[in-house]
Chain A
Amino acid sequence: MTQSDLTILSNREIATSVYEMKLGGNTISIARPGQFIDLKLDGFFLRRPFSVCDLENDVLTIIYKVVGRGTEHMSSLTAGSVLDALIGLGNGYETSTSGASPLLIGGGAGVPPLFMLAKALVSQGKSVTAVLGFNTAEDVFYKGEFEGICSRVIITTADGSCGIRGLVTDALTEAGDYSYVYTCGPEQMLKAVWSKINTSGQFSFEERMGCGFGACMGCSCETLCGAKRICSDGPVLYKEEIKWPTPA
């Protein structure tokens, strides 16, 4: 982890309430896809964590959805503004376990980190299929970008307005054979994917964080390998170690 002052290069709405922000600066401590950055915003006490969507020549891309006052403030920032960032946080995805034809499954705000992952896997000569799930056609983003690098991209929407009607798990048959699964999305989606896939895989989780770097124990979860901090032992957990919370 390092602290870095990042300059906003662009900040634009790419789907309903979904923004793509490109940031320039020293990004040297980002080592793997699936890692995240933690941004300090004026007027807000805690930093905001965002997964790295892309990293090319020290230009870092994040994609965020406006869900509260912090992200609303972010959406108003313009090119040239400087943000205090902690970067290179979290363990990220391990690509060496993927086999020849990995399947990437993303849901909504969980789609972004899979883009940098897809690029890494493709550069290793792997044939990547991506299943990307959204609520409706207006929420879909980065379809073209994924199509530009993946062997195959399947979109699902809950209302059927784009791609297959239904959830990402409804597209598993369509996705065909795969050697391994990488996924990121809401917990309910991760759980559904976990129960339906027939290979091993890596699951990226989300939790409300205090610090983002392992100090406060705010985002801990229980796993079959003991308590883990989503921010620093995760956010990526292996399929075999996940312990789903029992419904209250």
Chain B
Amino acid sequence: MADTRVTLCGITLDNPVIPASGTFGYGYEFAKLYDINCLGTFSFKGTTVLPRFGNPTPRIAETPSGMLNAVGLQNPGVDAVISYELPRLKEVFFKPVIANISGFSIDEYVQIAAVLDKEVQVGWIELNVSCPNVHGGGAAFGTTPDSAARVTGAVRRVTKKPLIVKLSPNVADIAGIAKSCECAGADAISLINTLLGMRIDIKKRSPLLANKTGGLSGRAIFPVALRMVYQVYEAVRIPIIGMGGVAGTEDVLEMMLAGATAVGIGSANLVDPFICRDIINSLPAEMDKYGISRLSDIIGGAH
């Protein structure tokens, strides 16, 4: 019997499959489609102190083998997440969830983390220091080892929950930033967020997205994500959630061989809403095919 379990910061997951933040809302939309308790866990929609509408539309564009989004962290704000979204989620999801949070200052990250630290449904807190679509926040904290460490260290002081830092690929030295977050008290690293990209409308001679640029995700970025997970695995001792372009069971195995303990699935959910369930169902057969009896054995196996 194939053992698909992995342990992420002391919490055992039934399998490594985790819908990534921003592609799974607060979960209950997908619970109408299938029993989401089959998931390892999921990372909820990036949450900020105040409600945000996000950027003007159009904020979605197709690309070769992928897509751009410039949603800009639309969310109802942390108070509504606690009073409305989490209680609704509790009715359909019985596992600890990853709380993905974002801020425009270190104080904001600290403020949200301190509040979510008290929520029993929250198993991990994931700091998004890598959103490419908001100005004056998000990615600004994830671009240098120093600023990433400062946010991580400040949040570390207000929560005992496992702390994940989600990194941007739009940097020169991702391993250095990961190392710096580890030293500042991070319990795990997730990567990669989207790659900064753009499309132009030829007829209008102007950028297709109202925000001009957006984050590239989808199949196109899988090799980039895999390479960065591989590099970060060699730089840190804490677990990695690998993500970026994962769309099938073999991608999950590749990510784990590169060094991921768990694997995020993002924009593939938007094209095939059942993909996480289907990947989980096919994991045992795929493990058999490659002679894997315990999935956790292959983490970092390609090094």
Contact = CB atoms under 8 A, between A and B. Distances in A.
Interface of A: 1, 3, 40, 44-47, 70, 86, 207-211, 213-222, 227, 232, 245
Interface of B: 22-25, 29-30, 32-33, 45, 53-54, 56-67, 69, 71, 74, 218-219, 267, 269-271, 273-274
Given A40-B271, A227-B53, 5 more contacts: A1-B33, A207-B58, A215-B29, A220-B57, A222-B53
B178 to A, nearest CB: 27
Contact of A217 (B30, B54, B61): B54
A70 B66 CA distance: 14
Contacts, number: 85
A217 B271 contact: no
A218 B53 CA distance: 11
Interface of chain A, main secondary structure: loop
B65 to A, nearest CB: 6
A3 B232 CA distance: 38
A222 B270 CA distance: 22
B85 to A, nearest CB: 13
A211 B69 CA distance: 11
A210 B25 contact: no
B271 A47 contact: yes
Contacts of B62: 44-46, 70
A222 B74 CA distance: 11
A215 B53 contact: no
B29 to A, nearest CB: 5
Contacts of B45: 217
A210 B273 contact: no
CB-CB nearest 9 A-B residue pairs: A218-B60, A211-B270, A208-B58, A217-B74, A210-B60, A46-B62, A208-B60, A210-B270, A217-B71
Nearest to A68: B62
A213 B273 CA distance: 9
Contacts of A45: 62-67, 218-219, 271
B256 to A, nearest CB: 24
B71 A216 contact: yes
Nearest to B51: A227
B271 A46 contact: yes
B51 to A, nearest CB: 8
Given A45-B218, A222-B53, A227-B74, A216 B271 contact: no
Contacts of A40: 271
A208 B271 contact: no
B223 to A, nearest CB: 16
Contacts of B57: 207-208, 218-221
A46 B67 contact: yes
Contacts of B58: 207-208
Contacts of A208: 57-61
- Find the residue from A45, A209, A245 having the highest chain B CB count within 10 A: A45
A200 B56 CA distance: 27
A29 to B, nearest CB: 11
B26 to A, nearest CB: 10
A210 B68 CA distance: 9
B31 to A, nearest CB: 12
21 contacts: A1-B32, A44-B62, A45-B62, A45-B66, A45-B219, A46-B62, A70-B62, A208-B60, A208-B61, A210-B267, A211-B23, A211-B271, A214-B25, A215-B23, A215-B25, A217-B74, A218-B59, A220-B54, A220-B71, A220-B74, A227-B74
B195 to A, nearest CB: 15
Nearest to A46: B62
A45 B32 CA distance: 24
B47 to A, nearest CB: 13
Contacts of B69: 210, 216, 218
Contacts of B29: 213-215, 232
A215 B275 CA distance: 14
A20 to B, nearest CB: 24
A44 B25 CA distance: 24
B140 to A, nearest CB: 22
A46 B62 CA distance: 6
A209 B59 CA distance: 8
